[in-house]
Amino acid sequence: MSSWPGRGIRVPSAATRNLLINPLLSELPLPLCFIEPQDAIRVIAESVGRDARRQLLGELVRAWVDAIPETDLETHYVKAVADLDEHDLSMLAAWHASMEVGQPVANRDFLLGVFGSLGEHRREALKIAAGFRGEEAFEAGVSEEQALETVLPALSRERCAELAEECLELYLWDRMGSDN
């Protein structure tokens, strides 16, 4: 960067100006980022209607579950199932029935007991349970900011950037006429 003569205004160097004017001069992509992905997600969450915000938070919860190490899945599943009401327990048991893990029973002991036998589907079970828990929190008025503060720090910058792109699409969908 150099200063504009006599004005104290900083301008890009000649090499940077060439890249800005003709990005084909470089093989590296030149993203123009003025905000961190986590902050972009927060801003978009505050800018969309209720239905879009609910979808956004659901997507964040699913991304959070994807980021949980295998060794911690059961711990988080126990926490998620502990907070579910009877209706959500029934829905989760119905999903378990589709996995053919025995005769499903809509109670915590059964759901926790069969978690280990779900194998590669354990992460999906946690996504469902955490999603129900997130819906209940949303309905109970838990602030979106509180949910964002819980989930976003666990995600990598790259994953947040991917989610920010999805959030931007959701923002456009919301602003272009959804019935929110």
Condensed to tens digits (0 to 9), the pLDDT of residues 141-169 reads: 566 777 788 889 999 999 999 999 999 99
Mark whether 85 and 13 lie in a shared domain.
no
Mark whether 138 and 96 lie in a shared domain.
yes
pLDDT at 18 over 50: no
Is 97 domain-assigned? yes
Is 69 domain-assigned? yes
Mark whether 129 and 59 lie in a shared domain.
yes
Is 73 domain-assigned? yes
* Overall domain count for the chain: 2
Q: Which long-range contacts (CB under 8 A, 24 or more apart) does 36-39 make?
A: 36/157, 36/160, 37/157, 37/160, 37/161, 37/163, 37/164, 38/152, 38/155, 38/157, 38/160
Is the full-model pTM beyond 0.95?
no
Mark whether 54 and 109 lie in a shared domain.
yes
**How many angstroms separate the CA atoms of 144 and 55, rounded?**
12
Mark whether 1 and 14 lie in a shared domain.
yes
Mark whether 59 and 15 lie in a shared domain.
no
Condensed to tens digits (0 to 9), the pLDDT of residues 55-90 reads: 888 899 899 999 999 999 999 999 999 988 899 999
Mark whether 67 and 22 lie in a shared domain.
no
Mark whether 97 and 119 lie in a shared domain.
yes
Q: Which domain holds residue 8?
A: 1-32
Instruction: Please tell me which residue, 153 or 136, carries the higher pLDDT value.
Output: 153
Mark whether 15 and 79 lie in a shared domain.
no
Q: 175 Cβ partners below 8 Å, 6+ apart?
A: 48
**Do 135 and 94 form a contact (C-beta atoms < 8 A)?**
no
Mark whether 120 and 160 lie in a shared domain.
yes
Is 180 domain-assigned? no
> How far lies 56's CA from each of 37, 40, 41, 49, in Å?
14, 12, 9, 10
**Do 21 and 30 form a contact (C-beta atoms < 8 A)?**
no
Mark whether 83 and 131 lie in a shared domain.
yes
Mark whether 101 and 148 lie in a shared domain.
yes
